[in-house]
Chain A
Amino acid sequence: MGSSKGGPVYRGLARIPDRALLLFAGLVYLFLYAPILVLIFFSFNSTKNTQVWTGFSTQWYGELIRDSSVLNAFKLSLTVGLTATAIATVIGTLTALALARYTFRGKTFADSAIYAATVMPEIVVGVSLLVFFVAATIPLGIVTIIIAHVAFCISFVTIVVRARLSGMDRSIEEAAQDLGASPVQTFWRVTLPLILPGVMAGALLAFTLSFDDFVITFFVSGVGSSTLPLKIYSMIKFGVSPVINALSTVVMVTTVILILGGSRFLTSREDA
């Protein structure tokens, strides 16, 4: 593309004004947000129509609150998300410490395994875990969902925490030890507070990934347990309804609040 030289088209393109770029950027933002805004807008529609505005109403939110299966799915997602995040954050942080602080045989393999786990297509991870759980006769349910979520969250936590560790000045830890702190004290009093923003960022990422995951959960959940994404999927399959719009609105607004809160928390910690 860049190899051709001269030519009127080529010279014309050279003068793409900034205004065209601005217009294009505006259109991309419109593309990103219009569908979401349409969803939110029609969650307040007064009839079951999700495409033609008939008047304002909050009845679909009422229906959403009264639907106990949605509430149960939300509770399950929360339980799974918090448990998986806690386990994955501890394991991921330990792994990051090992990879950042030690050189050992098989480190390249460990590194590639961590990255492989992040790029492996979700559907492959999902079906392989299904086959594994069935072969090991572990009944599908909340336990298998948590095991699967921890497995795909560990790598992401490791990568985030490791990035934080690599930017850390080791002399602070050495100073603490020179001043007589034991290794355990050094870890809890010096290392952990310093890497905490990274650990928190990793945990936040893990929770979001777990809370949002559909594909892997779809294969390892069995019949009885439905997380929120699984519930949403079955609702969509059943048919378009403003109740789904209302649920989408609640989920999206919560996500935005979490991101804004999370980023503020993380940046303020970083400044300290």
Chain B
Amino acid sequence: MGKGGRGWTLGLAGLLSPVTIWLGLFFLVPLLLILAYSFGKSGVYGGITLGFYPGNYLKVFDPLYIEIIVRTLVIALLNTFLCLLVGYPLAYFIAFKGGRNKNILILLVMIPFWTSLLLRAYAWVVILGGDNGIANRVLQFLHITDHPLILIFTPQAVIMGMVYSYLPFMILPLYASLEKFDRRLKEAAQDLGASRWHTFWRVTFPLSMPGVIAGSILVFIPSAGEFVIPNLLGGARTVMVGNLIQQQFLSARDWAFGSALAVMLAVLLVGAIMFYVRRVGAEKLEGV
């Protein structure tokens, strides 16, 4: 660390200037630009008058938009929770019971992880659609229902599509933290008389916290900004903030309000992460 000079002809400036220029110009400046736009005023033809108009942010508090924001947060939180609920036992299974098949089992989780999110959402469009669709026939075969149900274009379909899409994002970091786990700690707890349940909640689970945090962030953020899945699987009752932002930029052409929504989403999510990490314990994250 710090003893540059010797090995490096490309000095520090040379190494850092490309990234500074690229991310500065094409990441930071655009973000500052929507921050400025969010205080502007949209003209009739989509032009923007810059200034300091808090109107766009006040508009967010319209009950109609509040409803969408609350729905977005509920869906994203529910999705994160369900992914954790389904993903944890699987990650635990692979890490502790996987044995020689560990690598294959984790590869089987990675394949959907690498497969296009769009195609995986499409799979559910196919499965849930239609009275005589696959999901309806399975449900009737299992005698869960005796008549076709409307499954697609519902909030449940959105949740289903999201859990399906984001589950690997939860499992991989969970597995990474459970894999590093020193089994002797479990044995020690049990030798000292702790039950398996007790050992899990007092030893294994707390030590896997970095994975839980990383997985939750990886699932929560993209699902709160999601607009593809509600577009394909949801109906009018499942409009999320992402859809609202998309509408403002592409059809309504109210870029100032769209910018305010985007800024709000970014601030809300970054704030949520900081709160979460601090609450659950930043010191636990350092192990990642």
- On whether the beta carbons of A35 and B130 are closer than 8 Å, the reply is no
Q: A91 touching B126 by the CB < 8 A rule? A: no
Return A11 CB to nearest CB of chain B, in Å. 8
Chain B contact residues: helix, strand, loop or mixed: helix
Is B93 located at the chain interface by the 8 A CB criterion?
Answer: yes
Distance of A133 Cα from B27 Cα, bound (Å) = 12
CA separation between A92 and B29, bound complex, in Å?
Answer: 19
Closest to A241 in B: B126
Decide: A177 and B7 in contact? CB cutoff 8 A. Answer: yes
A120 at the interface (CB under 8 A from B): yes
Tell me the bound Cα distance from A173 to B3 in angstroms: 13
Give the residue of A14, A191, A236, A258 whose beta carbon is less than 8 angstroms from that of B125: A236
Check if B6 sits within 8 Å of A127, measured CB to CB. Answer: no
Task: State whether A232 and B118 are in contact (beta carbons under 8 Å apart), knowing that A91-B18, A124-B225 are contacts in the complex.
Answer: yes
B5 (CB) vs chain A CBs: closest residue:
A183
Contact segment of B62-70, B140-148, B178-186, B259-267: B259-267
The answer to whether A129 touches B19, judged by C-beta atoms less than 8 angstroms apart, is no
Contact present for A154 and B228 (CB under 8 Å): no
Q: Mark B156-197, 1 if CB is under 8 A from A, else 0.
A: 000000001001100000000000000000000000000111
Interchain nearest-CB distance for A29 vs B (Å): 6
Contact B108 A2 (CB under 8 A): no
Q: Interface size bucket, B side?
A: 35 or more
Contact of A36 among B112, B195, B258 (CB under 8 A): B112
Residues in A neighbouring B167, C-beta threshold 8 A = 28, 31-32
User: Given A24-B93, A31-B164, A117-B27, does the pair A240, B129 have CB atoms closer than 8 Å?
Assistant: yes
Instruction: Return chain A residues, CB-CB under 8 Å to B275.
Output: none
B7 and A186: CB pair below 8 A? yes
Complex Cα distance, B266 from A119, in Å, reads 10
Please state if B97 and A259 are interface contacts (CB–CB under 8 Å): no
Considering the complex, give the chain A residue whose CB is closest to the CB of B12: A102
Complex Cα distance, B111 from A258, in Å, reads 10
Task: Determine the residue in chain B with the shortest Cβ distance to A209.
Answer: B114
Q: Is B224 part of the contact surface with A, judged by Cβ < 8 Å? A: yes
Give residues of chain A (3-28) contacting chain B, Cβ–Cβ below 8 Å.
10-11, 13-16, 18, 21-22, 24-25, 28
Contact A38:B123 (CB < 8 A) given known A98-B16, A102-B1, A104-B12: yes
Q: Which of B18, B245, B249 contacts A90 (CB 8 A)?
A: B18
- CB of A206 within 8 A of chain B? no
Q: A101-B1, A113-B27, A150-B22 are in contact. List 19 more A-B contacts (CB 8 A).
A: A2-B201, A24-B93, A95-B18, A102-B4, A119-B217, A119-B273, A120-B266, A121-B224, A123-B265, A127-B258, A128-B31, A186-B7, A212-B117, A232-B119, A245-B126, A248-B123, A259-B107, A259-B110, A259-B114
- A-B residue pairs, 7 tightest by C-beta: A2-B201, A121-B225, A128-B30, A98-B15, A35-B123, A132-B30, A14-B197
Chain A interfacial positions (CB closer than 8 Å to B):
1-2, 10-11, 13-16, 18, 21-22, 24-25, 28-29, 31-33, 35-36, 38-39, 42, 50-52, 90-92, 94-95, 97-98, 101-104, 110, 113-114, 116-117, 119-125, 127-132, 135, 147-148, 150-151, 154-155, 158, 173-174, 177, 183-184, 186-187, 191, 208, 212, 214-215, 219, 229, 232-233, 236-237, 240, 244-245, 248, 251-252, 255-256, 258-259, 263
